[in-house]
Chain A
Amino acid sequence: MNVIVTSIDYILNWSRANSLWPLTFATSCCGIEMMQTVASNNDIARFGSEVFRGSPRQADLLICAGTITHKMAPALLRLYEQMPEPKYVIAMGACTCGGGMFADTSYSVIKGIDKIIPVDIYLPMCPPKPESLLDAIRKLQKEIRKESILERKKFTNKHTSNLTESCGLLTDEFNVTKLGVLEN
């Protein structure tokens, strides 16, 4: 049994790691560095990630490039939930890792996207250079090659339960805003 699972894992991981299709999700200045990474000088296509998708349903990787505010948080959560398994997240930039320079004083910024969605690779710096993003993608590929389909299922189950606990407010509020009901 184990032999079969291991060889299936090997093939699956090889194909998953070498064709990570990112979602176009650039919320502020880190997005400029992400564009530069796609352009020919740094050429993200060397690592199989050149196909930036506009729809979360076709994407494997969410590169969260930029500050997430309270108003943006429900949209981020919704995009993440719309992505099909297996899905990975790179938190790009200091703001997404822990709030960055907004962490102490800002009223509107989420202090790290790991409060909303699970994060695989943290990439600090403000903003990271294109080389750093390539490095993060390489590290994520290394992680993916170690994975097993059995463990992946456990990981997703754990995180689904966590999400519903911590993000009850976000999803509630999202429904409130969708219906157009006003508080205050």
Chain B
Amino acid sequence: MNWTEFQNIFKDCRLEGEKIVINSDLLKTIEFIKTNYHFEMLKEIIASDNGDGNVELTYRLFSLEDEEDLLISINVQDEAESISSIFESAVADEKEIFDLFGVKFIGNPELKRLYMPEYWKGHPLRKDYKEDDERLNWNE
């Protein structure tokens, strides 16, 4: 993709290695990249908690034409935009991230727990997660 052309349209972004870091307008950016640069496949969404209260979401897009990957990363707090209207396969990934990191994706049609039981309290992959549920004392 043409980086200078992209930066002229989205001024609020920078390049970190091979990763494009944006600060806002996630939905718009991904839709633009999908339509203009033919990255028509979402490989995965990576989430990581760096310990400063933010969760870093990294979207790995794939271009079938050029056979190359593109990483787009954004720092969010507790809420993020859902990209399930652009990539349907994002629904399951966002469910998993909601379950383990507690990021609420606005616009995701079925946002509920995927791996943990539905009675579970908290989101276990957060750095500030503490296991202090009294109902689970039988497992000590």
Segment among A22-30, A121-129, A148-156, A169-177 that sits at the interface with chain B: A169-177
Q: Say if the beta carbon of B135 comes within 8 Å of chain A.
A: yes
B129, B131, B135: the one within 8 Å of A169 (CB): B135
Interface size on A, residues (CB 8 A): 16
CA distance A173 to B119 in the complex (A): 7
Chain A residues with CB under 8 Å of B118's CB are 176-177, 182-184
Summarize B's interface: helix, strand, loop or mixed. loop
Judging by beta carbons under 8 Å apart, are A176 and B119 in contact? yes
Distance in angstroms from A171 CB to nearest chain B CB is 12
Question: Do B124 and A115 touch across chains, with their CB atoms under 8 A apart?
Answer: no
Assess whether A70 is in contact with B138, with CB atoms less than 8 Å apart: no
Considering only residues 157-184 of chain A, those with a C-beta below 8 Å from chain B are 166-167, 169, 173, 176-177, 182-184
A113-145 at interface with B (beta carbon < 8 Å): 115
If the complex has contacts A107-B124, A107-B131, A108-B124, are A71 and B139 also in contact, measured as CB distance less than 8 A?
no
**Beta-carbon contacts under 8 Å, B105-121 to A:** 112, 115-121
Interface residues of B (CB under 8 A from A): 112, 115-121, 124, 129, 131, 135-136, 138-140
- 18 A-B pairs within 8 Å (CB atoms) are namely A70-B120, A70-B136, A70-B139, A71-B117, A107-B124, A107-B129, A108-B115, A115-B138, A115-B139, A166-B138, A169-B135, A169-B138, A182-B112, A183-B118, A183-B119, A184-B118, A184-B120, A184-B121
